[in-house]
Amino acid sequence: MISVDGVTKRYGPFTAVDNVSFTAAAGRVTGFLGPNGAGKSTTMRVIVGLTPPTSGTAHVLGRRFADLPNPGLEVGVLLDASAQHAGRTGREVLILAAQTMGLPRTRVAEMLELVGLTGDEASRRLGDYSLGMRQRLGIAHALLGDPEVLILDEPANGLDPAGIRWMRDLLRGHADRGATVLLSSHLLHEIEVVADDLVVIGHGRIVAGGAKSDLLATAGIQVRTRYPDRLTDALVTAGVSYTAPRPAGPAGEGTDGRPCRTLRVDADAESVGRIAHRAGVPLIELRAADGARLEDMFLELTAATQRDPRRQGAIS
């Protein structure tokens, strides 16, 4: 478990992280989401003790990171896959870490195999690695001590689609076995697919947080019918509000020439079904409306802090 309490980091007049608090729970993948320069990396660096915070505290497994006796065995960290000596081989990087943690040399070979680095690749120097290979090595480095907490900064960077899928499964598997996984990304889709909980940060401040299911839950029922006028009359009579998005084009034409319309109704499915039944309106479809995609939420939440100036006015 990771808990961050009121962490602030200032560089002169610039506030990189502003009173950030959140927890990442065991057995769950917590996605740390934010646009570039939002303060994700700085927050993670504060958690692992590389950056002293201006104020606030961070605890991992109930302790300050510096108080962990052998951190590699409890917390796997990947902050920057390129931050290794270019003159060392991939295998050597893992050997040094294994030796520091007091792990047997066999663990190095296991991890190389796990992340899909061949013996030949492991014998090459880091300076000759592609970004994807560095990322795999970095993940091997983080997993070496079989830690119960993982802290990964943009681990999907540089991985090919198969690699991203593999890493997602790996993180999921880790969380399912009880590990705490904190993973940052600006890749919305990646986080949405794997995370259980979300912490969204923009401009150094937390702008949203909670279970993904809660954040994505939207009220409403989507209903489709060839008799929209009769249905809307019935809904109005019943005092239920609705919205009518634009028709879905020619595919909506029925055999008898009646257009097919979709409505979004602010009620539960059963009520809508009863209303339609009483009004004698046949329905084609009755289901929970699609949630607002995380992407919409993300853009909305962070629009005010986006670097892209076109979005500035949209929200504020």
Residue 77 binds other proteins, judged by CB under 8 A: yes
Could you tell me the smallest distance in angstroms from the CB atom of residue 19 to other proteins? 19
Q: How far apart are CA 295 and CA 114, in angstroms?
A: 32
For the four alpha carbons of 207, 212, 218 and 219, in that order, the dihedral sign comes to negative
5 - beta bridge partners? 57
Q: Which of residues 133-192 bind other proteins (CB under 8 A)?
A: 141, 143, 146, 148, 162-163, 166, 169-170, 172-174, 177-178
Q: How far apart are CA 313 and CA 297, in angstroms?
A: 16
Q: How far apart are CA 181 and CA 75, in angstroms?
A: 10
Q: Are 1 and 52 in contact (CB under 8 A)?
A: no
Q: Are 47 and 53 in contact (CB under 8 A)?
A: no
Find the binder of other proteins among 14, 66, 257, 313 (CB under 8 A).
66
Could you tell me the smallest distance in angstroms from the CB atom of residue 193 to other proteins? 14
User: Of 101 and 238, which has the nearer Cβ to other proteins?
Assistant: 101
Residue 70 binds other proteins, judged by CB under 8 A: yes
Residue 34 binds other proteins, judged by CB under 8 A: no
Token pair 């108080």 in the structure block, residue = 67
User: Of 117 and 260, which has the nearer Cβ to other proteins?
Assistant: 117
Q: How many residues bind other proteins (CB under 8 A)?
A: 54
Site map 294..313 versus other proteins, x via CB under 8 A: --------------------
Could you tell me the smallest distance in angstroms from the CB atom of residue 16 to other proteins? 11
CA distances from 197 to 53, 112, 234, 260, 297 (A): 24, 30, 39, 38, 14
Residue 8 binds other proteins, judged by CB under 8 A: no
Element (H, E) at 316: none
Residue 48 binds other proteins, judged by CB under 8 A: yes
User: Of 96 and 299, which has the nearer Cβ to other proteins?
Assistant: 96
Q: Are 72 and 97 in contact (CB under 8 A)?
A: yes
Q: In what order do the strands lie in the sheet with 180-185?
A: 75-78, 149-153, 180-185, 29-33, 197-202, 205-211
Binding site for other proteins (CB under 8 A): 45, 48-52, 65-66, 68-75, 77, 79-80, 82-88, 92-93, 96-97, 99-102, 107, 110, 113-114, 116, 125, 141, 143, 146, 148, 162-163, 166, 169-170, 172-174, 177-178
